[in-house]
Amino acid sequence: MAQARQPHFYEHLAVPDTIDGRFDMIALHAILLFARLKAEGEAAKARAQAVFDILFREMGASYTSVPHKIKRMAELFYGEASAYMNALEADDDRALVNARA
């Protein structure tokens, strides 16, 4: 979460400093972490699940209608995660660039 909030992304890399922009940065960092943990095999599976649980608890903590918001965030996250993971696994730079488009 802290890495995704680094000002550099918003001040120099044209990431919008909005709820959506911040969600995208958190999702991207989480996806990269999950890709790394996946490469570690079964031993990292529990760690990946714990990170996932913390991630959505952190992102949803400020919402009053948490269950609905969490469900929508999870849907968005899974869509982005699928696109990014497929691109990473295929070592396809073009698909990686277009994963969020």
The pLDDT value recorded for residue 39 is 86
User: Is residue 73 a contact partner of residue 60, using CB atoms and an 8 Å limit?
Assistant: yes
Rounded to whole angstroms, the maximal C-alpha distance in the chain is 40
Give me the tens of pLDDT residue by residue for the chain, a chain 101 residues long.
889 899 999 999 999 999 888 888 888 898 889 889 888 888 888 888 888 888 777 666 555 555 666 677 777 877 888 888 888 888 888 887 777 65
The pLDDT value recorded for residue 49 is 87
Single-letter code of the amino acid located at 77: F
The pLDDT value recorded for residue 67 is 65
Alpha helices in 1-101, H assignment, sequence order: 7-12, 19-39, 45-60, 66-90, 93-98
Q: CA–CA separation, 78 vs 80, rounded Å?
A: 5
The overall pTM is greater than 0.75: no
Q: Where are the domains of the chain?
A: 3-98
